[in-house]
Structure 1
Amino acid sequence: MDSGHIWQQFGVVTWRSRRVQSSSQAVMAGCLALALFASGLWWSGALTPHIRWSLDGFFLHAQVDENGVLSTDIDIELENEGPTPFTFTGISAEIPGLRFLPADEARNERFTVTVAGGGMEYLRRRVVITDCAAVPHEPRPVTFTYRTWLRSGSAEAMWNSWRLSGPAGSVLVAWQRGLAGKVCNGAVNPDQF
Structure 2
Amino acid sequence: MQDYDLDRAYEIHGPDDARTLYDAWAETYDASFGAGWGYVAPREIAALFAAEASENQPVLDIGAGTGLVAAHLDAFTVDGIDIAPEMLAIAERKGLYRRRILGDLTRPLQMPDGVYGGVISSGTFTHGHVGPEALPELLRVTRPGALFVCGTIPSVYDGMGFGSALALLVAQGRITPVDFRDIPIYEGADHPHRADRGLVMLFRRR
Q: What interval of TM-score do these two structures reach, taking the shorter chain for normalisation?
A: under 0.3
Query: Higher strand share goes to which structure?
Result: 1
TM-score (norm 2): 0.21
Larger Rg: 1
